[in-house]
A = this chain, B = another copy of it.
Amino acid sequence: MIQQKVVIISKEQLKNLNKAQQCINNSRNSNRLKAFGSCRTWCLTESLVLRNFQILNFRKVQIKDGLTMLDAIGPYEVLRNISNAEVLFVAEKKGEITADSKFVHLNAKFGIDEINEADILVIPGSAITFLREINNVKVMEWIKKINQTTLWTTSVCSGSIILASTGLLNGLEATSHWKPMELLKKFGAVPKAERFVEQDKYITAAGVSTGIDMALYLCNKIVGEAKTKAIQLFIEYDPKPIYKSGNYSTAEKNVIEEAEFILLEEAKKEPELFEEIKGEI
- Please report A residues at the B interface, Cβ cutoff 8 Å: 68-70, 73-74, 76-77, 80-81, 83, 86-89, 96, 101, 103-107, 109, 157, 177-178, 195, 206-210, 212-213, 216-217, 220, 225-248, 251-252, 254-259, 261-263, 265
* Contact yes or no, A243 B262, CB < 8 A: no
Known contacts A77-B68, A104-B87, A254-B226: does B232 contact A241 (CB below 8 Å)?
yes
* CB atoms of B104 and A236 under 8 A apart: no
User: Which are the 9 A-B pairs with shortest beta-carbon distances?
Assistant: A238-B246, A230-B258, A207-B236, A229-B245, A239-B239, A208-B235, A87-B103, A237-B246, A105-B107
Say yes or no: A243 contacts B225, CB within 8 Å.
Answer: yes
- Looking at the assembled complex, report how far the CB atom of A33 sits from the nearest CB atom of chain B, in whole angstroms: 25
A246/B241 in contact, CB under 8 A? no
Q: A77-B68, A105-B109, A107-B106 are in contact. Are A255 and B233 (CB under 8 A)?
A: yes
Q: How far is the CA of A83 from the CA of B103 in the complex (A)?
A: 13
Residues of B within 8 A of A177 (CB): 236
Closest to A254 in B: B226
> Is A226 touching B255 in the complex (CB atoms < 8 A)?
yes
Which of B88, B213, B226, B233 is the one whose CB lies under 8 Å from A248? B233
**14 residue pairs from A and B, CB less than 8 Å apart:** A80-B101, A83-B265, A89-B105, A210-B238, A213-B239, A216-B241, A220-B242, A227-B258, A230-B245, A231-B262, A232-B243, A233-B251, A235-B246, A238-B244
Closest to A245 in B: B229
Instruction: Decide if B255 touches A229 in the complex (CB within 8 Å).
Output: yes
Closest Cβ of chain B to A2, distance in Å, is: 24
Report the separation of the CA atoms of residues A238 and B205 in the bound assembly, to the nearest whole angstrom: 12
Residue of B nearest to A84 (CB): B265
Alpha-carbon distance A101/B87, docked complex (angstroms): 9
Contact assessment for B220 and A234 in the assembled complex, using a CB-CB cutoff below 8 Å: no
Asked, given contacts A209-B237, A234-B262, whether A106 binds B104 with beta carbons under 8 Å apart, the answer is yes
Q: Is the CB of A235 within 8 A of B261?
A: no
A70 engages B80 (CB within 8 Å): no
Chain B residues contacting A157 (CB-CB under 8 Å) are 236
A89 to B105, CA, bound (A): 9
Contacts of A213 in B (CB 8 A): 239-242
Given contacts A220-B242, A235-B70, contact A262 B87 (CB under 8 A): no
Given contacts A68-B77, A105-B107, A225-B243, 16 further A-B contacts (CB under 8 A): A69-B73, A70-B74, A70-B77, A80-B103, A87-B104, A89-B104, A209-B237, A212-B241, A213-B240, A220-B242, A220-B243, A232-B241, A232-B245, A235-B246, A237-B239, A239-B241
